Amino acid sequence: MPVKIAINGRFQQRRITGVDRYAHEISKRLTAANYVIMPTQLLGQVTGHFWEQFILPANIQHGDILWSPANAGPWTVQNQVVTIHDASVFDHPEWFNPTFSLWTRLSWKILARRVKAIITVSNFSQERLRFHLGIPEGKIHVIYNGVGKPFEPQPQKTIEMVKEKYGLKKPYFLFVGTNEPRKNLAGLIQAWENLNLKTHSLFVASAGGKVFAPTTSHAESMTNVPDTELPALYSGATAVIVPSFYEGFGLTILEAMACGAPVIISDIPVFRELFDRAALFINPNETQEIANAILKMIEEKLLITRLREQGIEHASKFSWDEAACKIQEIIK
């Protein structure tokens, strides 16, 4: 029998964030000739680890290779390829729950020694993971994330329906992300409050995460938004703001660009690698710089038009189909 890819489907039971969207998008492109092994019920952190370490390996057909797409995998399975999206638990362990941080660092050290190959999503992440884990150059591969439907410019009628649902009567700036320290939501809110704008609003579409250290950002200002409504929110925004201190890729930026939204993003190495000349860059440590960029997006119409056009063109270079083909080649 030909070797198949068994996909670690633990992610199937979680709310979709950037890492889980990657897992969903790639998995559905690989499953035609392969198979997903997933839990039969919703699992917590501890029960999820137990399932992954002890139940999952027993369900891999003999000789098949396991792909673990979401930063974790069973230690005993050597015939495995694992995707690790960034090195933030090593570079900034203070941003995470201490137990999660310790467990993840230990797990990655074990997996880095035992698995056949590691995939990551940017050259920046490859460099940081090699530094912390001592991974040989030929064992870690960079494959960029993709973007595709439903992330495309939305009809005005759809945009208006979503705006009405969330009470967005003014033009709005949009933040989409989890409430974790590295996303710098507190810095964005401070910049926004300093501006004291009456003509525009700031909409924060966010989901909390138990693995992250507490933040002092305005949790009451956050709204959980269904995944299906994100394309319309992106499409209708004056601009999308991603003021992160650290990322492995920045999938939100790519999705926003694909929907025709201009973006304001941090001037950090990974964003320069991936989005240079298609966004307005700011220093995430300077609230005044964030505020100035917001004003630019309101006042400079030519800038908005240029960023919309360049963003759509830039996003078209990133494809989930292409990413899935490259991943399958490495796994096979």
Domains and CATH numbers, the chain: 5-142 (3.40.50), 156-315 (3.40.50.2000)
Which string of DSSP letters, residue by residue, matches 303-330?
A: HHHHHHHHHHHHHTT-BHHHHHHHHHHH
Tokens of 151: 């992330």
- pLDDT score at 15: 65
- pLDDT score at 279: 98
Model confidence at 210, pLDDT cuts 50, 70, 90, reads very low
Instruction: Assess contact for 245 and 182: CB atoms under 8 A.
Output: yes
Rg value, the chain, Cα: 20
Bigger pLDDT: 31 vs 238: 238
Average pLDDT over residues 320-326: 96
The Cα-based distances of 235 to 77, 152, 275, 300 in angstroms read 43, 8, 19, 18
Average pLDDT over residues 51-65: 95
Model confidence at 32, pLDDT cuts 50, 70, 90, reads confident
Residue 14, pLDDT > 70, answer no
